[in-house]
Structure 1
Amino acid sequence: MLKGIPPVLGPDLLHILRAMGHGDEIAIVDANYPAEAAGPEVVRLDGHTATDILEAILTLMPLDDFVDDAVFGMQVVGEPDKRMPVMEEFDAIVARYEPGMKLKLVERFAFYDRVESAFAIVQTGERRLYGNILLKKGIIRPDA
């Protein structure tokens, strides 16, 4: 155990977060997501929700404020403007750590394409539908 680091962030995930550079993306996906087939390295955290993992990651990782959007979710198929309750939770967590940033929803297959080029994927045990989020890593400023 380490002080100040959420215990859900094990050594494999901590290594990934530290190895990522500015602009790299990491996906946190639900239990239904085809993570193993997507391509990037997969860290499995089956006993945890996507919201718990998002909260833990954002305690350590800054989001990219050089781009218009740094947080992406998957649109509901057939209802692109619908926001599922898990998406509202994602937005609330992001706002606590990165005020002003919001979840941008993208079409399902565009989301899959982004995840395929991500640095890594965290597969959670999230059972809520559309419990998928992609984060673009930012920088630590010298005054932080």
Structure 2
Amino acid sequence: MLRNINPLLSPDLLHTLRAMGHGDEIVIADANFPATSTATSTGPTCIRADGSSASEILEAVLSVMPLDSFVPDPALTMQVVGDPDAVPEAVADFQTIIETTADIPAQIQTLERFAFYDRAARAFAIVQTGERRLYGNIILKKGVIA
């Protein structure tokens, strides 16, 4: 055990977060997200966190990882198909977590569904959670620690 480390941060997830560099991205995905097929042999690693919600993992990740302050969109979610201005419950929750946990809070930006999938395929890693709320997916860009 380690002190002051959220116990939801598994050894694999901690290793991944530490290995990421400034500008690398990590996806926190819901239970419906095609994480395993997106994480092909040439794509991101898929880390399972089935017993946790996306919100719980987001809060744990932001407790140790800074968001990138050099870009306008360090946090991205998927737009609702057919209603791109809608804010799903999970996304509203993500925004609250970013505002209360991130060292430099940011406003979540959105991507069209297939643009989100393409961006996720280029991420450093995908964390597949047990999140059951629809659109419970977020991409985070890692920042630097001054």
Q: TM-score range by the shorter chain?
A: over 0.9
User: TM-score by structure 1 length?
Assistant: 0.96
Which residue of the other structure, out of 40, 62, 85, is the alignment partner of 2:89?
Answer: 85
2:33 maps to 33
Matched, 1:129 2:137: no
Alignment of 1:37-116 (within 5 A): 37-39=37-39, 40-96=44-100, 97-116=102-121
SS at match of 2:76: strand
CA deviations over 1:39-63 (Å, ceiling 9, x no partner): 2100000010000000000000000
Shift of 1:15: 0.3
Structure 2: which amino acid aligns with 1:127? R
SS at match of 1:72: strand
Matches of 1:87 and 1:108, distance apart in 2: 14
Shift of 1:100: 4.2
Shift of 1:119: 0.1
Asked if 1 retains the 8 angstrom alpha-carbon contact of 2:76 and 2:111, the reply is: yes
CA deviations over 1:68-101 (Å, ceiling 9, x no partner): 1100000000000000111111001111124440
Paired residue total: 141
2:15 maps to 15
Moved more, 92-101 or 77-86: 92-101
SS at match of 1:42: strand
Structure 1: which amino acid aligns with 2:63? T
* Consecutive unaligned residues in structure 1, runs of 5 or more: none
User: TM-score by structure 2 length?
Assistant: 0.94
* Consecutive unaligned residues in structure 2, runs of 5 or more: none
Aligned-residue Cα RMSD (Å) equals 0.8
Shift of 1:122: 0.1
